[in-house]
Amino acid sequence: MLLLLCFVVSFLITFLTLPIWIKAAKKAGLVGRDMNKYEKPEIAEIGGICVVAGLLSGLLFYIGIKTFYFKSTTNIVELLALISTVLIITIVGIIDDALGWKIGIKRRYKPLLCLAAAVPLMVIAAGYTKITIPLLGSIDIGLLYPLLIVPLAIVGASNGFNMLAGYNGLEAGMGIIILATLGAVTWQIGTTWIALVSFCAVSALIAFLFYNHFPAKVFPGNTLTYAIGALIACVTILGNVERAALILFIPYFLELGLKTKGKFKKESFGLPKKDGSLELRYPKIYGLEHIAIVILKKLKPSHKVYEQEIVVLLLLVEVIIATTIIF
């Protein structure tokens, strides 16, 4: 019952604050162009702040009940460190979003700012120091884990999750699948408090999807992608489920390769047409979204591809990957 209440709190806080934020963001000029629409409508930005608010509300509700009712402080330090990491990375995302996606924080500075978010987990020596290396077996790397692996995971996941984005519902959908899978895995191995974190985030993302699905009323912004990426890293580290997380991140590794091919200058958006369909923006492929367009054009007799179809295909691929982990 307590877990269910936490999920409800996360969902309701996100769902109820989003309409207020959408109005406030538009009034303040915090809007972005929907690049996959022919008319390029202006959409409210930084919607991820409501998801973070929902997530933290659910987690703090859990901490409060556990502390005052059950008189238990088990895993409270780890939870507060996780919350601190999410808050720090959210601030980085807000700064980036507020400066604009064309200007933003210079690429070389982003990893350094994201690195600050790893400090809370580093100072509590989060994670399990024994890692398994093929052919070598299990090795205890000691302090290298909190001082090297943890910051690399936070910086890599927060920036990596930010790469596969820009289509209505894509970021939230991918976050739901990844965190739900990690929640199921951590539940199976007995770390239920980590599963709670994952499913609180899933609840908040589902609420966000009501406003972000096609046609989107609000964009997540880097505020959400950084926060969810860092949260995935936190769940992975604290739940000791590195293998599952690496498998779930396969699409992002592929996206990194394609982005590198374009020297990070090519955009993953499609080229919108008047009828709402999307064509390839470039002669070559520079993102998984472009591959999705090519595949769908070959499968459809009309050869017309729409944004929501691209999102569904990419999410379906992630679901298939997730099933290999759970089953």
DSSP secondary structure of 176-234 = HHHHHHHHHHHHHTT-HHHHHHHHHHHHHHHHHHHHHSSSPSB--HHHHHHHHHHHHHH
* Beta strands 271-272; 137-140: pairing state: unpaired
Q: Is residue 185 part of a domain?
A: yes
Q: How far apart are CA 59 and CA 99, in angstroms?
A: 30
Residue type, 121: L
State residue 296's pLDDT score.
Answer: 96
Residue 168 lies in a domain: yes
Low-confidence ranges of the chain (pLDDT < 70): 100-105, 133-136
Domain count, the chain: 1
**Conformational region of residue 303, where left means phi above 0, alpha means psi within -120 to 50, and beta covers everything else:** left
Return the amino acid letter for 262. G
In a domain, 275, yes or no: no
Residue at 236 is within a domain: yes
Cα distance between residue 216 and residue 141, in whole Å: 45
Residue 312 resides in a domain:
no
The pLDDT score that the predictor gives to residue 43 is 97
Does residue 93 lie in a domain region? yes
Q: Tell me how far apart the alpha carbons of residues 97 and 113 are, in angstroms, rounded to a whole number.
A: 14
CA distance 276 to 295: 18
Cis geometry, peptide bond prior to residue 215 (ω within 30 degrees of 0): yes
DSSP 131: E
Q: CB atoms < 10 A from the CB of 184, how many?
A: 16
At residue 73, the 3 state secondary structure works out as coil
What three-state secondary structure class fits 42? Answer: strand
Residue 118 lies in a domain: yes
Would you mind telling me the total number of residues written for the chain in this entry? Answer: 327
pLDDT at 46: 95
In 3D space, the residue among 16, 8, 3, 5 whose CA is nearest the CA of residue 210 turns out to be 16
pLDDT of residue 85: 97
pLDDT of residue 56: 97
Q: Residue 321 falls within a domain, yes or no?
A: no
The pLDDT, as a whole number, for residue 133 is: 66
pLDDT of residue 98: 84
d(CA 290, CA 84): 36
Q: Where are the alpha helices (DSSP H) in the chain?
A: 2-28, 48-68, 76-99, 110-115, 119-123, 144, 150-161, 170-188, 192-212, 221-239, 242-248, 250-261, 288-299, 307-326
Side-chain half-sphere of 222: how many Cα atoms within 13 Å?
24
What are the residues whose beta carbons fall under 8 Å from the beta carbon of 287, sequence distance 6 or more? 164, 255, 258, 259, 266, 267, 268
Structural domain of 102:
2-258
- What would the pLDDT profile of 78-88 be if each residue is shown by its tens digit? 999 999 999 99
